[in-house]
Amino acid sequence: MGYFKTALLMAAMTALFMGIGYLLGGTGGMLLALIVAGGMNAYTWWNSDRMVLRMHNARFVGPRDELGLNELVGGLARNAGLPEPKVYLIDTPQPNAFATGRNPQNAAVAVTTGLLQRLSREELAGVIAHELAHIRNHDTAIMTVTATFAGAISMLANFALFFGGSRERMGMLGTLAMMFLAPMAAALVQMAISRTREYAADKAGAEICGQPLWLASALERIQSAASRIDNDAAEAHPATAHMFIINPLHAHKRDNLFATHPATENRVAALRAMAGEMGASARPAPSPRPAPAQNAPRDWQGGPEAGSSSIPRVSRGKGRSGSKGPWR
């Protein structure tokens, strides 16, 4: 059902784009709009990961890093049946994470230093599993395309006053209405797609790590902190907000038409229901050890209940419901 909704919403976005092109310039305008959109999408398709990571000043984390992030991501990627994505770290106190890339072979997972400071290892595993689910479901590509369509629709709508054809077809009031309503409609479709994919990634992420309550606990902790801590890079680039696991822009709590994410309490409730179906095998995530204000990422690797300085290896199963999860 999630994929059907996404396909339906993508069709609506395409129809809206073609309709605006037709109103602006007739059949020729519709064709030109499609050509422009194709060029924009091609460029964004190949460069989206680098563009987004650069916007957020993300730094690459090499193999065998002292934080153990690559080992954790690699193990969960094997659970998900994915190639190991590149790992990036964003220096911001707001706990958050996102995935990017045009396909699983060219994907990246980025986490913030605030995430490492505030989450336990189990909660972090749930977050990374959620981002890997986005990669496996090709959500990163879908959201890139929808964001590009939304930007192109806004651009075309702003050009409406300069096209005589649109004024002849709709009149001045109709043209002004289109300038405001078309970008709004595109944004609504983009946000609806984002919310649909978030629920699907929550479910698949819980299956990848094997413990829905780890992700549920992480979502609650991230929401609590993200609503109080600013993310300057995200505020400067609000078009990337839909990529994060929790909205970094302090949005309203309810599922409303203009929210890029579902309400966190709704997501948590769905995960707890999933854990109830799994029964006793779904273990809650322990509370994280309090992290110091500075150098917290260095101390994170030990984590709560850690018996050694290394992160346990993740099982190679497919993360099906009822599995023991990554921590042995």
Catalytic residue flag (residue 122)? no
Q: Which pLDDT does position 92 carry in this prediction?
A: 95
Chain center to CA of 155? 24
Half-sphere exposure of residue 247, counting CA atoms within 13 Å on the CB side?
Answer: 20
Q: Which pLDDT does position 112 carry in this prediction?
A: 97
Q: How many CB atoms lie within 10 A of CB 134?
A: 27
Contacts of residue 160, Cβ cutoff 8 Å, sequence gap at least 6: 23, 24, 166, 175, 178, 179
By the 10 Å C-beta count (0-12 exposed, 13-18 middle, 19+ buried), 265 is classed as middle
Measured distance CA(315)–CA(284) in Å, rounded = 19
Half-sphere exposure of residue 279, counting CA atoms within 13 Å on the CB side?
Answer: 3
Catalytic residue among 131, 235, 277, 305: 131
Q: Which pLDDT does position 316 carry in this prediction?
A: 33
For the chain, 328 residues long, give each residue's pLDDT as a single digit of tens.
556 666 776 677 777 777 777 777 777 777 877 787 777 767 777 877 888 899 899 999 998 888 899 999 999 999 999 999 999 999 999 999 999 988 899 999 999 999 999 999 999 999 999 999 999 998 887 777 777 777 777 777 776 666 655 555 666 666 666 677 777 777 777 677 777 789 999 999 999 999 999 999 999 999 999 989 999 998 888 778 888 999 898 744 444 444 568 889 999 999 999 999 887 566 666 555 444 333 344 344 433 333 333 333 433 333 333 333 333 2
Measured distance CA(155)–CA(241) in Å, rounded = 20
CB 77 within 8 A of CB 83: yes
Q: Which pLDDT does position 123 carry in this prediction?
A: 96
Domain boundaries, the chain: 2-286
